[in-house]
Structure 1
Amino acid sequence: MTLAERYPLLHAPARWEWGGLDVQFSTELPPDELVTNIHLVCFVGDRIVLCRDDRDVWILPGGTREAGESIESCVIRELVEEAGAELAGPIRQFGAHYGTTDHPEPYRPWQPHPHKAWLWCTADVRLVGEPTNPDDAENILEVRTFSLEEALRHAGNDGSYVPELIRLAVEVHGAGGSTTALRQPGSPAE
């Protein structure tokens, strides 16, 4: 069984109206120049980190990449801003939502347009303080760790792909960070 068959909501083409984006998930990693956003499924031991924002929605930490910022620098900054966390292990990239926007201009002037990618990663982290909540970002009210089942309930109460994304991240994290290790021999990548 392919990953797309195991995770059909995650792999289904989708429309993200807030960004005028038509998106498609893939485990094929994007070229660096397409990555505009980076989000993480973070682990403290076997528990998953979620952040509750001022809309009372539980989210995975991450956000928009700044001009000239490396993937690692973006991850480190976003962990501090949204989760009050620091890396405790390597960043493992495991997939991306590739998107094409119908907006006439990029969200930020330095971003690629109209094609872009949201990179998904896993990492072990330590919670070391409060989120810094900069003025131009989400306002995080609470950061907690959850068991897998609790995380799926909190992050998946809107019928979205997020529970499947978390399940895939748990598998990837347990496989040492490789989606290749999860595929059956001879099965297609998706």
Structure 2
Amino acid sequence: MARIEHFNNPNAPKPNSIVVAVTVFVQDEQGRLLLIQRTDNGLWALPGGAQDFGEYIAETAVRETLEETGIEIAVTGVVGIYSNPNHVVEYSDGEVRQQFSACFRGRYLSGKPAVSDESSAVRWVAQYELDDLLIHPSMRLRIDTGFERRGEPYIG
């Protein structure tokens, strides 16, 4: 399903749903960040996705990371909560979702990067390489906040 990201766009369609979702900030032993290239819009992003019924939110983070990247992680903390009402995602099925995402910090446990139906590429990326990748501003905010290692999570 295709998706269009609307960010601070006064002509964006009005949202008709909010879905609890996660993203996960995971670094390897060299400090590189785990990123996927999304199949629905071609942008680079942290792994993540929507919470399923019967699932703790930390379980969502672990499951989505494994499904999208082939990497097993343990959740170790919270980077931030992202709920900007001026960021909506329009899907080809008519859903227009207002952003609501918890970004978790994860610790790499095992596995090798592997693509899925949601990721056309998966790789460990050094911080200095980020400016060379197409990353949505909302996702870049999460990434930059993760690298800051704040004492308190971002709430915005």
Do both proteins adopt the same fold according to a TM-score greater than 0.5, normalized to the shorter chain?
Answer: yes
- Detail structure 1 runs of 4+ shifted over 6 Å in the superposition: none
The aligned residue for residue 78 of structure 2 is 92
Q: Whole-Å Cα distance in 2 between the matches of residues 70 and 58 of structure 1?
A: 26
The aligned residue for residue 146 of structure 1 is 125
- The answer (yes or no) to whether the contact 2:36–2:46 under 8 Å persists in 1 is yes
CA spacing shift, 1:168–1:40, aligned 2, 3 Å: same
The aligned residue for residue 120 of structure 1 is 103
Question: In the alignment, residue 27 of structure 2 is paired with which amino acid?
Answer: F
Q: Any stretches of 5+ residues in structure 1 without a counterpart?
A: 1-11, 23-33, 108-113, 181-188
Matches within 5 A, 1:22-171: 36-45=20-29, 46-54=31-39, 56-88=42-74, 90-99=76-85, 117-129=100-112, 131=114, 133=116, 138=118, 140-156=119-135, 160-171=137-148
1:43 Cα deviation from its structure 2 partner = 1.3
Q: How many residues align?
A: 140
Q: Whole-Å Cα distance in 1 between the matches of residues 111 and 34 of structure 2?
A: 13
Question: In the alignment, residue 67 of structure 1 is paired with which amino acid?
Answer: F
Q: Percent identity?
A: 18
Q: Whole-Å Cα distance in 2 between the matches of residues 16 and 87 of structure 1?
A: 39
The answer to whether structure 1 residue 179 and structure 2 residue 156 are counterparts is no
Q: Any stretches of 5+ residues in structure 2 without a counterpart?
A: 1-6
State the superposition RMSD in angstroms.
Answer: 3.6
The normalised TM-score by structure 1 is 0.57
- The answer (yes or no) to whether the contact 1:89–1:124 under 8 Å persists in 2 is yes
Give the structure with higher Rg (CA). 1
Q: Which has the higher strand share?
A: 2
Q: Which has the higher helix share?
A: 1
